[in-house]
Structures are given as structure tokens and as C-alpha cells.
């Protein structure tokens, strides 16, 4: 039987690929725009593409963002994708003065370096730290210009490198925040989605 998953409609996400990826992993995804549905759902996915400020314009006034933050703080099954990871933080250099959800300490910074291609597009090896349960070693697809440089206390990170090391993903119990796109990361990404659904 397919596992129900609530997918938050942020207004800044490639929802089609996320929904397809979840279905392939055995989920029955439903798009939601109601904070009460975020609180009631067994599993929630927060996807995101584009600018943090635009996403917060959708999540903040609607109360969706607060509901997601409450889930993450409580350690309830939640998966975030790409910009979704950065939305959990305090903020980002992409949108100075704009507060993100603030349920995970940290600020996203822009890639910098002579000759370094920005945005970072393509496949990179993901290497989890000791103790990771859902994140495994493999190759993931990335598409972003901002990243988290240090893993916050209490989270088990996985790392990758584009010019410099950064957090490819991090987990804390059934909460997994991915900078990459698991739904676009082939069999390895499908495996991650499946493990999260079953956690």
C-alpha cells in the first residue's frame, strides 16, 4: 500500500519531478497549502527551487512555514529538497534581511572562487559522516548557488565538494534535509526516498 505524503506547495518548486519521484518510491503524495494539513500529516516534503525570499513570501503569511518549523523541531518525519534545506536556516546571503524559518541554526552562503562555476549544476559524490542512518554514499544531482558550510549541532551531515566542502544533506532522526535533488538522482536517490518513507 502506498504511504501518504503531504507535499508543501511553496510556489517555488519543481513539483512535477518531486511527485513522480515520491510515487516511484512507493508514496501517495498530495499537494497541500493548509498549515493544519502539515501538522496532521504523517510525512511531509518541503521542496524548493529559486530564491529564498520568494519562497518565504509564500510560506510566511500563510502559516505553512511555521507548521513546517514545528515539525522539524519536534523531530517528525520531514524531508526537504534543495532550497527546502536553506529555508530551515536562519537566512541566506541570497536574500539579506529576509528571515527564513529559523528552526535550524545557520546561514547559507554563495559559492565563491576564481573559475568556479556558479550555479553548481551536476552530479557530485555524497559522503555521509559516521552515524548516518538514512544517508549513504553515492552520487546526487545538484542545482544551486548557495550552500550551508557547517552542519549544526545535533545533525548528522553528509558532505560533498564544489570548490570547497559543504553540507550535501543532514539528518536528525526521521528529518532529512537535502541540498541535492533526490528525485533526480537515479537509483541512489530513489533508495534515499524509500528509506525515508520507511523510517
Catalytic residue among 120, 144, 162, 181: 181
Q: By C-alpha distance, which of 152, 18, 145, 2 is closest to 81?
A: 18
Verify whether residue 103 is a known catalytic residue. Answer: no
| Residue from 162, 171, 178, 183 carrying the catalytic annotation | 183
Catalytic annotation, pick one of 70, 82, 94, 103: 82
CATH number for the domain including 127? 3.40.50.880
101 within 8 A of 69, measured Cβ to Cβ: yes
Q: What is the pTM of this model?
A: 0.95
State the total domains in the chain. 1
Whether the pLDDT of residue 12 is over 90: the answer is: no
Q: What is the pLDDT of residues 92-115, one digit of tens each?
A: 999 999 999 999 999 999 999 889
- What is the domain extent for residue 52? 3-198
Amino acid at each position: 500500500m502506498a504511504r501518504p505524503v503531504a507535499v508543501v506547495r511553496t510556489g517555488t518548486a519543481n513539483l512535477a519531478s518531486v511527485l513522480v519521484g515520491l510515487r516511484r518510491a512507493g508514496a501517495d503524495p498530495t499537494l497541500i497549502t493548509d498549515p493544519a494539513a502539515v501538522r496532521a500529516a504523517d510525512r511531509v516534503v518541503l521542496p524548493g527551487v529559486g530564491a529564498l525570499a520568494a519562497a518565504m513570501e509564500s510560506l510566511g503569511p500563510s502559516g505553512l512555514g511555521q507548521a513546517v518549523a514545528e515539525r522539524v523541531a519536534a523531530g517528525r518525519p520531514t524531508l526537504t529538497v534543495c532550497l527546502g534545506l536553506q529555508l530551515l536556516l536562519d537566512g541566506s546571503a541570497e536574500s539579506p534581511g529576509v528571515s527564513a524559518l529559523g528552526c535550524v541554526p545557520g546561514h547559507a552562503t554563495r559559492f565563491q572562487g576564481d573559475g568556479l562555476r556558479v550555479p553548481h549544476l551536476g552530479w557530485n559524490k555524497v559522503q555521509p559522516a559516521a552515524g548516518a542512518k538514512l544517508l549513504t554514499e553515492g552520487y546526487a544531482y545538484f542545482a544551486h548557488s548557495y550552500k550551508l558550510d557547517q552542519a549544526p549541532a545535533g545533525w548528522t551531515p553528509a558532505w560533498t565538494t564544489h570548490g570547497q566542502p559543504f553540507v550535501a544533506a543532514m539528518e536528525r532522526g526521521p528529518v532529512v534535509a537535502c541540498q541535492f535533488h533526490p528525485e533526480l538522482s537515479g537509483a541512489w536517490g530513489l533508495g534515499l526516498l524509500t528509506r525515508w518513507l520507511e523510517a
